[in-house]
């Protein structure tokens, strides 16, 4: 049985960026990418809002802050080199009352600590820039943009193939065993048992399945992936000119996510969202989807119940707004008052893969763990798509240093 030099599990943007980086740093390596779906970027990468984040929100000194700022630059460079279109739209973070103005200033100071300069606007300046947006002030981030990350992944896949790597679709990893010489992967292809795959080094970029792959490989970790559905709406084409920049609310630091925003899309449309409601299926997108194994994983995990107790009111409001569109709309009308329920058209949901600890705390930063011959990306939520290339450098450093 042939043994590969390197195997990467996962055909999302982090996995593909890692495969590409490894091939660039180890020319001629026998590298194989395994993706269980029939297409690349099927899950988180293909369902995100397509924002090239500037690095505004993240704790100074964190991996998220450092890698997002570098990643925004490198994402644009990659797109320029490979002909992937993107738009530098900028973003406005809008305060709608005095309390939000205070939080907005704290956010400006955090961004400054990360090396970013945000323009502060008063209400009149905001109105002049975005006449259909209401607020008492705003921060303008010129470094925010948009791109189709699926297109970025396809360009990465083409380059991987050009460099001699192979990508196999429809191959699910069902088991991982490691000894002092190699790693053996058990696989399933098209629902049937597949051949074992042997490799000297394994990188697992499994997204929402990352904890299961890590446990299968013997990684000692107590984190569990908990899915949160992010539900979006799309405005009608007649509303495509409602804003010229991305519009975000000022985030509440007591809440785990950024809030419902207006996002310009590469196809010219505008989406509204996301909210954040507990998911009971890791990879099913219709509303109220349930996967028995996934639901059991969540409900048996003590960390979920501890988080639920702390966020009971917020969770209840998010769930209500998921079922009651006028409640969802009210979140948007705070800063875009002319929108109506009739403007909220269908758009496929996304699922955020969030690592949770047994004490109920969310893993806030990127998290990469491993064994002697494996590296596992255990937490890579937003801004992982923006940060994919520098994350890939971090992973590649670990892989190649271990192999030296």
Q: Per-residue confidence at 320, pLDDT binned at 50, 70, 90?
A: confident
Helix 13-25 / helix 149-162 crossing angle, nearest 10 deg:
30
Average of per-residue pLDDT across 244-265:
89
Q: What are the structural domain ranges in the chain? A: 3-46+150-223+364-403, 88-144+227-356
Do 86 and 145 touch, CB atoms closer than 8 A?
A: yes
Q: Do domains 3-46+150-223+364-403 and 88-144+227-356 have the same CATH topology?
A: no
Distance CA 32, CA 194 (A): 15
Average pLDDT, the chain: 95
User: What is the DSSP secondary-structure string of 327-343?
Assistant: HHHHHHHTT-TT--GGG
Q: Find residue 145's DSSP bridge partners.
A: 52
Do 35 and 206 touch, CB atoms closer than 8 A?
A: no
What is the token pair recorded at 2? 């042939």
Match 């207006």 to its residue by tokens.
262
Average of per-residue pLDDT across 57-85:
97
Q: Find residue 122's DSSP bridge partners.
A: 137
Q: What is the pLDDT of residue 404?
A: 66
Do 31 and 5 touch, CB atoms closer than 8 A?
A: yes
Burial, 5: exposed, middle or buried (Cβ in 10 Å; 0-12, 13-18, 19+)?
A: middle
Q: What percentage of the chain exceeds 90 in pLDDT?
A: 90
- Per the omega criterion (within 30 degrees of 0), is the bond before 383 cis? yes
Within 10 A of 286 (CB to CB), how many other CB atoms are there?
Answer: 9
State CA 13 to chain mean position distance: 9
Per-residue pLDDT of 258-292, as tens digits, reads 889 999 999 999 999 999 999 999 999 999 999 99
Average of per-residue pLDDT across 335-350:
96
Q: What is the pLDDT of residue 401?
A: 86
- Name, in order, each residue with C-beta under 8 angstroms of 181's C-beta and a sequence gap of 6 or more: none
Q: Find residue 172's DSSP bridge partners.
A: 188
Q: Per-residue confidence at 252, pLDDT binned at 50, 70, 90?
A: confident
Q: What is the pLDDT of residue 386?
A: 98
What is the token pair recorded at 363? 């893993």
Q: What is the pLDDT of residue 61?
A: 93
Return the CATH number of the domain spanning residue range 3-46+150-223+364-403.
Answer: 3.50.50.60
Q: What percentage of the chain exceeds 70 in pLDDT?
A: 99
Distance CA 72, CA 385 (A): 9
Highest mean pLDDT of the ranges 188-197, 246-255, 282-291, 311-320: 282-291
E strand map for 151-276 = 166-169, 171-178, 183-189, 192-193, 197-204, 224-230, 233-234, 246-249, 261-264, 270-273
Count of positions (residues) in the chain: 404
Residue of 243 and 352 predicted with greater confidence: 243
Residue of 320 and 346 predicted with greater confidence: 346
Distance CA 88, CA 210 (A): 32
According to DSSP, the β-strands at 3-9 and 31-35 are parallel
Report the run of H or E that residue 99 belongs to, with start and end. Answer: helix 98-113
DSSP 251: P
Judged by DSSP in three states, 143 sits in coil
Distance CA 93, CA 216 (A): 42
Per-residue pLDDT of 160-188, as tens digits, reads 999 999 999 999 999 999 999 999 999 99
Distance CA 395, CA 389 (A): 10
Triad 259, 208, 271: Cα angle to 5°: 35
Average of per-residue pLDDT across 321-327:
91
Q: What is the pLDDT of residue 256?
A: 66
Its CATH architecture, for the domain 88-144+227-356, is: 2-Layer Sandwich (3.30)
Average of per-residue pLDDT across 19-38:
97
Distance CA 364, CA 367 (A): 9
DSSP 280: B
Q: Is the pLDDT of residue 403 over 90?
A: no
Q: What is the pLDDT of residue 1?
A: 66
Within 10 A of 254 (CB to CB), how many other CB atoms are there?
Answer: 8
Residue of 259 and 159 predicted with greater confidence: 159
Q: What is the pLDDT of residue 190?
A: 78
């Amino acid at each position: 049985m042939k043994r590969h030099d390197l195997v990467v599990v996962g055909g999302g943007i982090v996995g593909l960026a890692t495969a590409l980086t490894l091939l660039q740093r180890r020319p001629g390596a026998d590298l194989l990418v395994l993706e269980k779906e029939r297409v690349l970027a099927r899950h988180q990468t293909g369902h995100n809002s397509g924002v090239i984040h500037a690095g505004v929100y993240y704790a100074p000194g964190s991996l998220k802050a450092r890698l997002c700022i570098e990643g925004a630059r490198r994402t644009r460079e990659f797109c320029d080199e490979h002909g992937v279109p993107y738009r530098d739209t900028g973003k406005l973070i809008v305060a709608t009352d005095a309390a939000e103005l205070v939080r907005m200033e704290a956010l400006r100071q955090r961004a400054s600590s990360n090396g970013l300069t945000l323009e502060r606007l008063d209400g009149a300046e905001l109105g002049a820039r975005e006449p259909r947006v209401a607020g008492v002030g705003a921060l303008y981030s010129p470094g925010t943009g948009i791109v189709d990350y699926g297109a970025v992944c396809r360009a990465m896949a083409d380059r991987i193939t050009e460099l001699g790597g192979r990508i196999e679709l429809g191959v699910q990893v069902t088991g991982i065993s490691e000894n002092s010489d190699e790693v053996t992967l058990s696989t399933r292809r098209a629902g049937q048992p597949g051949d074992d795959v042997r490799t000297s080094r394994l990188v697992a970029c499994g997204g929402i399945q990352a904890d299961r792959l890590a446990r299968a490989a013997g990684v000692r970790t107590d984190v569990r992936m908990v899915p949160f559905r992010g539900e979006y709406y799309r405005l009608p084409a007649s509303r495509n000119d409602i804003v010229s920049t991305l519009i975000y609310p000022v985030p509440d630091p007591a809440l785990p996510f950024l809030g419902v925003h207006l996002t310009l899309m590469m196809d010219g449309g505008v989406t509204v969202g996301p909210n954040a409601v507990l998911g009971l299926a890791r990879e099913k997108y219709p509303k109220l989807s349930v996967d028995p194994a996934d639901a059991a994983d969540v409900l048996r995990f003590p960390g979920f119940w501890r988080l639920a107790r702390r966020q009971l009111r917020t969770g209840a409001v998010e769930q209500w707004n998921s079922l009651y569109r006028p409640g969802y709309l009210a979140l948007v009308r705070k800063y875009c008052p002319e929108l109506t329920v009739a403007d909220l058209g269908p758009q496929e949901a996304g699922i955020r893969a969030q690592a949770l600890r047994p004490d109920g705390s969310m893993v806030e930063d990127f998290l990469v763990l491993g064994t002697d011959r494996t590296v596992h990306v255990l937490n890579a939520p937003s801004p992982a798509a923006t940060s994919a290339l520098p994350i890939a450098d971090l992973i590649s450093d670990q892989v190649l240093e271990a192999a030296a």
